[in-house]
Homo-oligomer: A and B are copies of this chain.
Amino acid sequence: MPCFFPLEIISRKKMRTSGFVAIFFMIFLSVSSAYPGWKKQYKPCKQLVLYFHDIIYNGQNAANATAAIVAAPEGANLTILAGQFHFGNIAVFDDPITLDNNLQSPPVGRAQGMYIYDTKNTFTAWLGFTFVLNSTKHQGTINFIGADPIMVKSRDISVVGGTGDFFMHRGIATIMTDSFEGDVYFRLRVDVKFYECW
């Protein structure tokens, strides 16, 4: 985090309206240390909730599939996720993003990148992907990386950068598995919370 911690909290809305704020924030600074719990008060400067839908190629759904297994450990193949919690599978995806949890809703962009199953004794993935948003409301990209302990209900990854409407943004994305159907379909709910907005 930049320099002024507490400033973040008050600055986004008030700072630009009055020179008075600059003085106010100095006073605020000197007071804020009295509240050790302030660290948890961060509020996103921008927030988006989006869903994306992943249909994994299984040898029979070429037309619908939005993801494919492209790497696997020794002895595994590319149309069935590997045993041992899929350890060693890399899947590449280009998934539709929607505003709600309905796969048929008009997409507002694409989630593009990869996930890597990286654990032998539970389902855990490592994610590297981008939201490419292209709608009347948002134009730009958001870049994510992080560990995804799939069996945990709600987990956090990093928003490491953005372009267009999300120029230089950083934040946290909280992801939840909203639905899954065997090894063929899953849907993630992504709550993107930006804390650096530019």
Contact = CB atoms under 8 A, between A and B. Distances in A.
A149 B157 CA distance: 24
A117 interface: yes
Nearest to A8: B3
A110 B148 CA distance: 12
Copies of this chain, tallied across the complex: 3
B146 A158 contact: no
Interface in A82-119: 87-90, 92-94, 110, 112-114, 116-119
A16 B3 contact: no
Nearest to A74: B78
B8 A19 contact: no
Contact of A71 (B20, B70, B126, B171): B70
A4 B162 CA distance: 19
Interface in A130-175: 130, 132, 141, 143, 145-147, 149, 156-164, 167-172
Contact of A132 (B26, B42, B147, B195): B147
